[in-house]
A and B are shown apart, each in its own frame.
Chain A
Amino acid sequence: MTIKQTFHKLGSPRSFDRLASILIPWFLSISVLLFATGLYGGLVYAPADYQQGDSFRIIYVHVPAAWMSMFCYVLLAASGAVTLIWRMKLADVVARAIAPLGASFTFIALFTGSIWGKPMWGTYWVWDARLTSELILLFLYFGFMALQAAIDDRKNAAKAGALLALVGVINLPIIHFSVEWWNTLHQGATVTKFDSPSIATSMLIPLLIMFAAFKTYFFAIMLIRARAELLWSERKAKWVCEHPEVRQ
Chain B
Amino acid sequence: MTPKRKQRLLLVLLLIAGIGLAVTLAILALQENMNLFYSTTQVSNGEAPENRLFRLGGMVVDGSVNRTEGDITVRFELTDTAQHVPVMFSGILPDLFREGQGIVAQGMLNEDGVFVASEVLAKHDENYMPPEITESIERAKNTNTAQ
| Smallest CB gap from A56: residue in B | B124
Distance (whole angstroms) from the CB of A185 to the closest CB of chain B: 6
For B27, B93, B124, which residue has the most chain A Cβ atoms within 10 angstroms?
B124
Residue of B nearest to A168 (CB): B19
B129 to chain A minimum Cβ distance, whole angstroms, is 10
CA distance A183 to B95 in the complex (A): 21
A128 B36 Cβ-Cβ under 8 A? yes
Which stretch in A66-74, A118-126, A144-152, A239-247 binds the other chain? Answer: A118-126
B96, A51: Cβ atoms closer than 8 Å: yes
A52 touches B96 (CB 8 A): yes
Q: Is the beta-carbon distance between B95 and A185 smaller than 8 angstroms?
A: no
Interface presence of B53 (CB below 8 A): no
Let me know if A198 and B126 touch, CB within 8 A. yes
Q: How far is the CB of B8 from chain A (nearest CB, A)?
A: 5
- Please, which residues of chain A bring their CB within 8 A of the CB of B131? 179-180, 188
Q: How many A-B residue pairs have CB under 8 A?
A: 84
Known contacts A51-B96, A81-B12, A84-B12; decide if A185 and B123 are in contact (CB<8 Å).
Answer: yes
**Complex-state Cα separation, A128 to B130, whole angstroms:** 14
- Interface residue tally for chain A (C-beta within 8 Å): 33
A187 touches B93 (CB 8 A): no
Interface of B is mostly: mixed
Note all chain A residues with C-beta closer than 8 A to B127: 198
B5 within 8 A of A: yes
Q: Evaluate contact between B57 and A120: CB separation under 8 angstroms.
A: no
Q: What class of interface size applies to chain B in its complex with A?
A: 35 or more
From B8, B34, B57, B94, A129 is in contact (CB under 8 Å) with: B34
Residue pair A122, B12 in contact (C-beta under 8 Å):
no
- Do B126 and A169 have beta carbons less than 8 Å apart? no
Interchain CB contact under 8 A, B119 and A183:
no
* B35 in complex: contacting residue of A52, A123, A183, CB < 8 Å: A183
For the complex, is A190 an interface residue (Cβ under 8 Å from B)? yes
Contact pick for A121, options B9, B121, B132, CB 8 Å: B121
| Contact A182–B34 (Cβ < 8 Å) | yes
Q: Which of A52, A170, A181, A182 touches B124 (beta carbons < 8 Å)?
A: A52
Residues of B within 8 Å of A81, CB to CB, are 12
Measured CB to CB, the residues of B under 8 A from A are 5, 8-9, 11-12, 15-16, 19-20, 23, 27, 34-37, 39, 57, 92-96, 104, 119-127, 130-132
